Amino acid sequence: MARQQGLKILRVISGQAKGHPLRAVPGNGTRPTTDKVKEALFSMIGPYFDEEERVLDLFAGSGGLGIEALSRGAGSAVFVDSSPQSVDVVRRNLESTKLAGKASVYRNDARRALKVLEKSGLPFDLIFLDPPYAMKDCNAILTEIAQRGLAADSAIAVVEHHPDVSYPEAFEGFIRTRCAKYGEIAVSIYRYEPNQEAPAGTTMETTEEANKR
């Protein structure tokens, strides 16, 4: 998901499309992941991927997270957003970064999209959830993703949320491995290990601690 930030330019941080500017969704209804947070995030989950990895960007906004993963080597990505403006921006960004051939873009509600994607029988290795901050049930959405067979074993799931919102350390096979705070943005990272016991809990890092990583 993404919020227009004045004249600030969003860009691809690394990989095939490194440095390429990305369009933001017009208006104030979306909140783009800033370059600073995106760089820190991908240093934690990557930094690079391989051609066999499939990506789901479920609340795509401008598509910045999924596009970054494709640029860093992921083989394919599915982008979903309910906003026609967002879908248009994602398609434009994919075309301009020359990554459209590795992507599918759908305008749909997140949960309806999961029902459609289940029919493919193809699980995802990297899952991005960056919904509007009013939505506080990403754990329920991840649970549905797993129940529909859309999470590969050892898949990584990234949830962006307000730092005042707390998600469980473990649920339905998802185990939180990192949780970092960057000002008004918090990032919780989970690994899907349905047959593994959850380890000791993780702690929320402050902005300063996260930036040292």
Beta-carbon contacts of 15 under 8 Å, excluding residues fewer than 6 positions away, are 48, 68, 70, 71, 72, 73
Joined together, the tokens standing for residue 34 give 């800033």
pLDDT tens digits, 182-195: 998 999 999 999 98
Residue type, 120: S
Provide the 8-state DSSP code for 205: B
Predicted local distance difference test score (pLDDT) of residue 30: 65
User: What's the full length of the chain, in residues?
Assistant: 213
The 3-state DSSP composition of the chain as helix, strand, coil percent (nearest 5) reads: 30, 25, 45
User: Considering only CA atoms, which of 63, 65, 67 is closest in space to residue 76?
Assistant: 67
pLDDT number for residue 29: 57
- Position 8 scores a pLDDT of 54
Predicted local distance difference test score (pLDDT) of residue 149? 97
Burial of residue 207, with CB atoms counted within 10 A of its CB: 0-12 exposed, 13-18 middle, 19 or more buried = middle
- Tens of pLDDT, residues 148-159: 999 999 999 999
Q: 167's torsion region: left (phi>0), alpha (psi -120 to 50) or beta?
A: beta
Question: Alpha-carbon distance 89 to 22, whole Å?
Answer: 9
The alpha helices in the chain, defined as continuous H runs, are: 35-45, 64-71, 84-96, 110-118, 138-147, 207-211
Are 141 and 111 contacting, i.e. CB atoms less than 8 angstroms apart?
yes
Q: What is the residue type of 79?
A: F
| E strand or H helix at 117 | helix 110-118
Residue-level pLDDT at 33? 84
Distance CA 118, CA 47 (A): 28
Neighbour tally for 111: CB within 10 Å: 11
Digit-by-digit pLDDT tens for the chain (213 residues) are 433 344 457 899 999 999 999 999 987 556 678 888 999 999 999 999 999 999 999 999 999 999 999 999 999 999 999 999 999 999 999 999 999 999 999 999 999 999 999 999 999 999 999 998 889 999 999 999 999 999 999 999 999 999 999 999 999 999 999 999 999 899 999 999 998 876 655 544 544 344 444
Note the pLDDT of residue 2.
Answer: 38
- Model pTM score: 0.89
